[in-house]
Structure 1
């Protein structure tokens, strides 16, 4: 149980999700080039970035016993990657494209330790109801879309746009908890053991 779990991300949403799992961890954001490779498919893109983030985080941690989580999320519509909007008009265009449609949220999760790196990709189908122009304008004016792939946050006001979801809700937020739990168990650290340790410490 004496494992140092590290989250290689500055995302407060991912940190909140790890706390939801009852894990004790440290945060070490990493800075990598997130430019897609020529012809790179979305699933391969999030797979690669999650791995690069976890490996970079492991290097930064300076602890051979550390287990480092890296993750990357993107929104895909008709096979096209929708990254974070560059400005308010870009966000409006994204949301207009997603309105009344079903898109995919792809989240790569990587766990790096002494034994190497394991990477999995979670794919969730998300359907938007038809959005009005005024509500898109109001949402973009709130500022919420600006740091989020696809221009919306399901855990915030953007949750009002979602009419259906097939797959992992937490993956859409930014970190599929079922995948994280599986990777940690595979690495010899089942999350339920953390629950026992935490309870004994109370």
Structure 2
């Protein structure tokens, strides 16, 4: 079995891997996401994923021969990158601009095996319901949208506010399993080598 280190504190990414039979070692990168700002949304997600992967890969607590996976998600709306909202007012404002519309959720993935890195971005179109102001206020009051890119989840309370998805639904949760399988293959590792035995 190959050890996978997840360079992310995201409970959704961890749950996605676990549900797919993978039990990663979690080591939070601590990368300051505000250091990368001048890039188109898909490239921004990839650059942040690469930074997180690199930040964890060199740490002494990373098991020998482990693969390190860094991920980062960004919602693109009107060509702008939307990460986690700054506060509740920001989350409310975003939802007022997102409701009844569609955005593109980009998740950058960077997988490191020693000195080799395979990296790519998965993109999924997300269609949002036309929420009322009361629904937006109630959702923001839960605190959930404050902790996630784009101010929404599809696997939590926000799931009722997503009317459709075009592409990989795992990507919207924050980690594309099909893309991870492709990156593993690029580095010579079968997907099944990550499964718990």
TM-score range, shorter chain: over 0.9
| 3-state DSSP of counterpart to 2:118 | strand
Q: Are 1:159 and 2:121 matched, yes or no?
A: no
1:128-143 aligned within 5 A: 128-143=128-143
Deviation for aligned residue 1:115: 4.1
Q: Are 1:174 and 2:187 matched, yes or no?
A: no
Deviation for aligned residue 1:25: 2.0
Deviation for aligned residue 1:133: 0.7
Q: Structure 1 residues 42, 184: CA separation in 2 closer, same or farther (over 3 Å shift)? A: same
CA distance in 2, matches of 1:173, 1:125: 13
Partner of 2:144: 144
User: How many residue pairs are counted as aligned between the two chains?
Assistant: 196
* 8 Å CA contact 1:21, 1:191 repeated in 2: no
CA distance in 2, matches of 1:65, 1:16: 23
TM-score normalised to structure 1 length: 0.90
Q: Which deviations, in whole Å up to 9, do the C-alpha atoms of 1:128-153 show, x marking residues without a partner?
A: 12111111111111111110111111
1:176-195 aligned within 5 A: 176-195=176-195
CA distance in 2, matches of 1:194, 1:7: 12
| 3-state DSSP of counterpart to 1:104 | strand
Give the gaps of 5 or more residues in structure 2: none
Partner of 1:17: 16
Deviation for aligned residue 1:4: 2.5
TM-score normalised to structure 2 length: 0.93
Partner of 2:58: 59
Q: Which of 181-190 and 6-15 deviates more?
A: 181-190
Give the gaps of 5 or more residues in structure 1: none
Q: Structure 1 residues 38, 188: CA separation in 2 closer, same or farther (over 3 Å shift)? A: closer
* 8 Å CA contact 1:181, 1:191 repeated in 2: yes
CA distance in 2, matches of 1:150, 1:135: 17
Partner of 1:101: 101
CA distance in 2, matches of 1:100, 1:30: 35
| 3-state DSSP of counterpart to 1:35 | helix
Q: Structure 1 residues 194, 42: CA separation in 2 closer, same or farther (over 3 Å shift)? A: closer
